Amino acid sequence: MRWIELGDRVFASRNTELDQTMGLVVGRDRCLVVDTGTDERHGAAWAAAIREVTPVPWTVVITHAHWDHFLGTAAFPGAEVWAHPACASEMAVGARAQAVKWAEHYRESGRDHLADRLLAARVVAPTHEVTKRVELDLGERVVTLLHPGRGHTDNDVVVHVPDEGVLFAGDTVEQGAPPSIGKDGYPLEWPAALDVLLDLAPRVVVPGHGEPVDAGFVRAQRAELSAIAGLFDGVRSGTLTVEEALAQSPYPEEATRPALERGRVG
């Protein structure tokens, strides 16, 4: 775990596993924890690191319902847990299947210890909803929890720290690898979600995976995702075959094909 200080009492935590990035925003009365990690042991290490920075009570926000962002929440006992209502629903019905799938991946790569930790992790349900926009007063600092629309999932939530110009974007932005569209993404709507982020005029944008970036990086990723949206629409309408679309994609085949295959079947 490596700390990056982004501004006054605003931090990112960089993690080797999955190239993951989590966040911490400290106010006078409480702190906001942005995502809790991949399992309870990871979450406990994250919680212990936070306690070296601040003793104030914590509040948690889950940026979306993918296991690596919420299965560490049991390490934050008593915390309010904020998430989009669709995130809460997906966590309730889909967390176990996600854990089983990734545990198989870890076992295949010889990392049984990570598989065991993942399967043992408990799901902690969110306690508070972010349907569109919520202002949280941390004490002498107000942060905004915002659902920018559908993009990486239908339940993305970002965290804006306006006094420092920092935006925790979850997986609506990724650095170091192409954005993950997969089965949960909304390629036609994702560019508009990034417009919402850019309208906040952030100084620093913190991806859910990868290093912090600037607004120029987000604009470039928006252009790439807009190209993906056009290819997806072409496959869906029948004006492009999947293979033709793949040849025009700004991303490698393994990052593009899952979305285009969904376009083919509607």
The predicted pLDDT at position 264 comes to 55
Whole-number pLDDT of residue 11: 98
Reported as type and span, the H/E element at residue 258 is: helix 253-264
pLDDT of residue 263: 66
pLDDT at 260: 87
Coil, helix or strand at residue 187:
coil
Q: What is the pLDDT of residue 162?
A: 98
Task: Look at residue 183 in the predicted model and tell me its pLDDT.
Answer: 83
Which DSSP helix (H) or strand (E) runs through 2?
Answer: strand 2-7
By C-alpha distance, which of 235, 236, 202, 240 is closest to 218? 202
Whether the CB-CB separation of 178 and 220 falls below 8 Å is answered with no
Query: For position 266, what pLDDT does the model report?
Result: 38
Cα–Cα dist 88/90, whole Å: 6
DSSP 8-state code for residue 20: B
For domain 2-264, the question of CATH label 3.30.70.260 is answered with no
Q: What is the mean pLDDT of each run of 10 residues along the chain (266 residues)?
A: 97 97 98 98 98 98 98 97 98 97 97 97 98 98 98 97 98 96 90 98 98 98 97 93 95 91 61
Q: Where are the domains of the chain?
A: 2-264
To 10 degrees, what angle do helices 112-120 and 40-51 make? 80
